[in-house]
Structure 1
Amino acid sequence: MSFFLFFVLIILLNTVVALVSKYDKKRIIISALLVMFLCTPLVLVITMISIASAAGAGIGASVAGFTFGGITFVNGIIILFVGLFFDA
């Protein structure tokens, strides 16, 4: 269930990036950097705190946090490549 909610969050994040950037190359790059360096730590910390408090598992919470944070970071890299190499 958590993967489903996380991928819904990723889809919403990509939709917000598309709406905010309005397919301008510079705005897409700025949005990608914000996703990579602002959203990734937030996702990592929120995931680790919520899973650690709910399940009491420190190792499991850190693995889930790094997994979800890593996926968010890769999503930011993909958005960055789209902004750099594709014309809108």
Structure 2
Amino acid sequence: MPITGPLARYLIQADHAHDHLQFPHVIVKVIEKKHGKNYADERTLVVVFDGDYSFEDDCIVHGWVEEIRQQSHRGTFKEVLLVELARRKVFPIF
């Protein structure tokens, strides 16, 4: 039986809040997974995220970039970029 009414709205909001708490850890995991591919050619890694997760706030994204730099590395990539899809804004990580 589907959940409806105020409880459904609360559960959706709780799930959404949980998703927000996963950043920037999710990005670090994606970068590390790509490092495992061991590409032979020179590539730029572009990680795209929805602006909803950062509330389209540059300060939040800059905080993520600092955390990502501490937890990951450039590896064999020429550069690693974080791109907010909604605003098409690029944040260089490495």
Please indicate the TM-score interval, normalised by the length of the shorter structure.
0.3 to 0.5
**In proportion to residue count, which structure has more strand?**
2
- Give me the TM-score of the superposition, normalised by structure 1: 0.38
Higher relative contact order (CA 8 A, sep 6+): 1
Larger Rg: 2
TM value normalised by structure 2: 0.37
